[in-house]
Amino acid sequence: MESSDLLGLLFVYGYVALLLIISAKVLQNYPRFSRKFVHIMVGNILFILPVFATREAITFLAAAPFIFLTFIMSPYSPIKLNHRVSTSGHGLGLVYYAISWTVLAFLFFPQPWIIAVGIAAMSYGDGIASLMGERYGKNKYNIFGDTKSLEGSISMFLVLIFSLIIVFLFYNHPLNLTTIVIISLVATILEGVTPRGLDNLTACFGAVGAYLIMGLI
């Protein structure tokens, strides 16, 4: 393991620990908002990705351990820790989040902006959709078992466009607004039709898939 990998691990675990402390101490009286705060803000890990020097460190030491950690905090864990961040909302939502990040880190380590596209979709996009939908959602729809709102979906679409512009600028990637709009639209549609927290998988991989397809056109 190289020194930059150690630095990356320090940044990732230190940042997540800080978010959990804020969630537990500052936002303890607002469990659903607390969960969404962590969901959205953990997406900032995408700015730490370039620190890592090896695929093994980012995949198996930075990303994969969170699959286990989020599961033991979920309602399905035999340990029954019942942490407010995981027990509010979909029980396995954060587990799917960690799985998505792990898969992307392994597959696209040499191209961190692709990992960042997936993280942005499931953190900023999906998180904002849920937050705005709960607060302002009046026009509801239910396609495959989860009630979503038009207001939440529009918020996700717009926030994701803005987020992807920031991502591509950060990674010095050529800006193509058509590609960004299509990625955002695909991720938004998949989030809207996917139930039971699985949108952390579908929105993420859908966004990455749309990016890869657009690169072939």
Phi, psi of 88 (to 5 degrees): -85, 135
**Would the pLDDT of 78 be above 60?**
yes
Q: Give me the chain's average pLDDT, please.
A: 90
* Integer CA distances (angstroms), 20 to 27, 33, 34, 37, 154, in order: 10, 13, 9, 10, 28
User: Tens digit of pLDDT for each residue in 122-157?
Assistant: 999 999 998 999 889 999 999 988 889 999 999 999
Which pLDDT does position 70 carry in this prediction?
87
Percentage, residues of the chain above pLDDT 70: 93
Closest CA relative to residue 36, chosen from 147, 197, 213, 163? 197
CA–CA separation, 46 and 116 (whole Å): 5
Select the more confidently predicted residue: 73 or 184. Answer: 184
Q: Provide the pLDDT for residue 217.
A: 65
Structural domain boundaries in the chain: 3-216
- Residue 137 · residue 150 · CB < 8 Å: yes
CA distance 7 to 62: 11
Whether 46 shows a pLDDT value over 80: the answer reads yes
Give the pLDDT confidence score for residue 90 in this predicted structure: 58
pLDDT band at 192 (very low <50, low <70, confident <90, very high): very high
Q: Write down the pLDDT at residue 107.
A: 97
Q: Does the predicted TM-score (pTM) go above 0.85?
A: yes
Judge contact between 189 and 160, C-beta under 8 A. no
- Give the CA angle between residues 9, 13, 18 to the nearest 5°: 145
- pLDDT tens per residue across span 88-126: 555 688 899 999 999 999 999 999 999 999 999 999 999
Average pLDDT of the residues in 36-40? 89
pLDDT digits (tens, 9 = 90+) for 151-180: 999 999 999 999 999 999 999 999 999 999
